[in-house]
Structure 1
Amino acid sequence: MFYRKRTFSSVRMDVKRAFTLLELVVVVVLVAILSSVAVSKIHTGSKLDEYVYNLLNDIRYTQILALSYDAYDGSTSFDQIKNSYYLNFGTNCYSIFFNKSTQEIINDYMGSNSKLECKQGSRTYLDGLAITGNPIGFDYLGRPIISGGIANTPSEITLKYNSEEKIITIQPYTGYLSVK
Structure 2
Amino acid sequence: MYIRVLDESDAEVYQALRLSALKNNPEAFGSTYEREVEFSVETVAERVKPLDGKFTLGAFDDREVLVGMVTCMRESGLKTAHKGNVFGMYVSPEARGRGFGKSLILELINKARDDGLEQINLTVVSSNEHAKKLYQSVGFQVYGVERNALKYNRQYFDEDLMVLFLQDKLGRTLQRQ
- Normalised to the residue count of structure 2, the TM-score between the two structures is 0.23
Report the structure number with the largest CA radius of gyration.
1
Q: Which structure features the higher share of strand residues?
A: 2
- Normalised to the residue count of structure 1, the TM-score between the two structures is 0.23
Q: Which structure features the higher share of helix residues?
A: 2
